[in-house]
Amino acid sequence: MSQFWSPIVHDLDPYVPGEQPKVANLVKLNTNENPYGPSPKVLEAIRLGVSDQLRLYPDPNATQLKQAIADYHNIETQQVFVGNGSDEVLAHIFHALFQHDAALLFPDITYSFYPVYCKLYQIDYQTVPLDKNFVINLQDYSTNNAGIIFPNPNAPTGCLLSLNDIERLLQRNTQSVVVVDEAYIDFGGESAISLVNTYPNLLVTQTLSKSRSLASLRIGLAIGHADLIEALVRVKDSFNSYPLDSLAISAGVEAFKDQHYFEQTCQQVIASREWLTAELSDLGFEILPSAANFIFATHPQQDAGELALALRGQGVIVRHFKQDRIKQFLRITIGTTEENQHFLTILDGLV
């Protein structure tokens, strides 16, 4: 009944998330979830929140969570925005800050949700090619623009930029908003949050889905100058006043308090990443240097698409993107020690 659709809906090109399989017992290394569960303190906070109080609307401003994030990063609560996953936060950013008379700039190989938001909000964009080593070269982002966005580390490559490179971009680019999407920063990068008090056009987004193991709860955040945050609040309050439910708010607060659990699980993922990188390299794979909870690998003699299918046939799912330049790569999420070992054993039988 598409005659009833608004015209813009005909042209949308929706994002396709990685598979969430319906069958059990698969080793799931395809969507960059954390292999370890959330902190036990987070689970306890959720249990405490399950009560007749659920009849009440949650705090529309998620004040407690903003406070916990502000305390954690040593900034003001007015510099913090929270939303239903960083995907929602990013959508509000595109809507609130990127609709201008020039093109938005982002890498040719990057998070595939960016062009989707551009279609939705009718934002002009121009992609900037990664260099031959699949690294973002910020020198190439010098044209007049409506904004700049890139993940750090980048997805799906895992490659990290230094804080110095980012600061040099901010020194050159003062007339539009620069967004650093730090979905994976806790696995070995240095956050640009330390620069938000110096550069009023810098916005940093993070998520509790990966390093804090709460993908199912949908909690994302942005940190930047209070004026940028106010723009996001205006869009949010014109869209959905209550993006975070009360369970997510309480769980998010605890997730920032349990520093020990957070550090321990991140360290374990990093150690496993280094181990898996060395093992894959022994099998003949070439692996891009990763600072994320996944690795991006290619084999000179094996077709990546066929490998992904063969792995799927043996109960292991990894991500394969049918996109130019990266068709021959697989993105492999770091699992538990047992999952990584199992994956390797099966892969060994295939290459």
**Nearest-CA neighbor of 195 among 172, 231, 163, 221?**
163
Among the residue ranges 85-93, 121-129, 229-237, 323-331, the one whose residues contact ligand PLP (CB under 6 A)? 85-93
CB 320 within 8 A of CB 308: yes
Of 173 and 207, which CB lies nearer to ligand PLP in the complex structure?
Answer: 207
Distance CA 251, CA 213 (A): 11
Indicate the angle between helix axes 246-257 and 259-282, nearest 10 degrees. 80
Residues with Cβ within 8 Å of 162's Cβ and at least 6 positions away in sequence, in order, are 190
Q: Which of residues 302-331 bind ligand PLP (CB under 6 A)?
A: none
Strand-pair partners of 319: 331
186 part of the interface to ligand PLP, by CB under 6 A: no
Q: By C-beta, is 157 or 302 nearer to ligand PLP?
A: 157
Q: Where are the alpha helices (DSSP H) in 150-258?
A: 163-172, 226-236, 246-257
122-181 binders of ligand PLP (CB under 6 A): 151, 155, 181
CB of 79 or CB of 333, closer to ligand PLP: 333
Can you tell me which of 111, 256, 285, 296 binds ligand PLP, judged by CB under 6 A? Answer: 111
| Cβ nearer to ligand PLP, comparing 111 with 261 | 111
Q: Under rule CB under 6 A, how many of the chain's residues touch ligand PLP?
A: 12
Q: For residue 283, give Cα distances in angstroms to 31, 307, 344.
A: 23, 13, 9
> What are the φ and ψ backbone dihedral angles of 284, each rounded to 5 degrees?
95, 5
89 vs 280, which CB is nearer to ligand PLP?
A: 89
Regarding 283 and contact with ligand PLP (CB under 6 A), the answer is: no
The four Cα atoms 263, 269, 274, 278 give a dihedral, to 10 degrees, of: 160
Quick one: which of 35, 38, 58, 85 contacts ligand PLP (CB under 6 A)?
Answer: 85
19 or 227, CB closer to ligand PLP? Answer: 19
Residue selected from 207, 211, 250, 340 as contacting ligand PLP according to rule CB under 6 A: 207
Burial of residue 322 (number of CB atoms within 10 Å: 0-12, 13-18, 19+): exposed
Stretch in the footprint of ligand PLP (CB under 6 A) among 58-66, 83-91, 125-133, 304-312: 83-91
Name the minimum Å distance from CB 89 to ligand PLP.
7
Report in angstroms how near the CB of residue 50 gets to ligand PLP at its nearest: 23
Half-sphere exposure of 211 (CA within 13 A, CB side): 23
87-106 positions binding ligand PLP, by CB under 6 A: 87
User: Measured between alpha carbons, how far is 254 from 279 in angstroms, rounded to an integer?
Assistant: 36
Compute how many other C-beta atoms are within 10 angstroms of the C-beta atom of residue 179. 28
Q: What's the rounded Cα separation, in Å, for the pair 99 and 183?
A: 23
Give the shortest CB-110-to-ligand PLP separation in angstroms: 8
Does position 183 interact with ligand PLP (CB under 6 A)? The reply is: yes
Distance CA 125, CA 106 (A): 8
Single out the segment in contact with ligand PLP by CB under 6 A; choices: 4-12, 55-63, 81-89, 230-238. 81-89
User: Site residues (CB under 6 A) for ligand PLP?
Assistant: 85-87, 111, 151, 155, 181, 183, 207, 209, 215, 220
